[in-house]
Amino acid sequence: MTLLDAAPPKPSRKIGRYILMALAVVVLASIAYVVFRNFSEERAISHFLTALEQGNYQEAYRLWQPSETYTFGDFLHDWGEKGDYGKIRNFKILGSQSKGHDTVIVIVSINGQQPPAELVVDRRTKGLAFSPFD
């Protein structure tokens, strides 16, 4: 057998494996990005509602990061035991969606009331507000 009669070398399968692994990593990273993109904003809402659930209105007011014109009395009118939702007994975060670069709307069921509430979280400050997008 001469050099010209030799069989051509078989292509390496390692390259195909690396390509497949790289593709899998990209797909998993994309899924993780979509699922966890608004995680910290959802957590801010969870901390806020947990403070309300525990009756810690001063802490909830601090987490709300109100403007100077939104007093603690206004806050209690909205979120206190005689507010729109009454005493917060339970809540469930149903989802979230980004609005631009700086705003996230978190959809939450409070005390099982329908329709669910839409609360806005500022990405940078984690300040909360009622949604103007209702």
For the segment 68-79, the average pLDDT, to the nearest whole number, is 93
pLDDT in tens, 76-112: 999 999 988 899 999 999 999 988 889 999 999 999 9
For the chain, which domains are there?
38-130 (3.10.450)
Full-model pTM: 0.77
Q: With helix as H, strand as E and coil as C, how does 23-82 read?
A: HHHHHHHHHHHHHHCCHHHHHHHHHHHHHHHCCCHHHHHHHHCCCCCCCHHHHHHHHCCC
Band of pLDDT at residue 3, cut at 50, 70 and 90: low
Chain mean pLDDT for the chain? 89
pLDDT of residue 14: 80
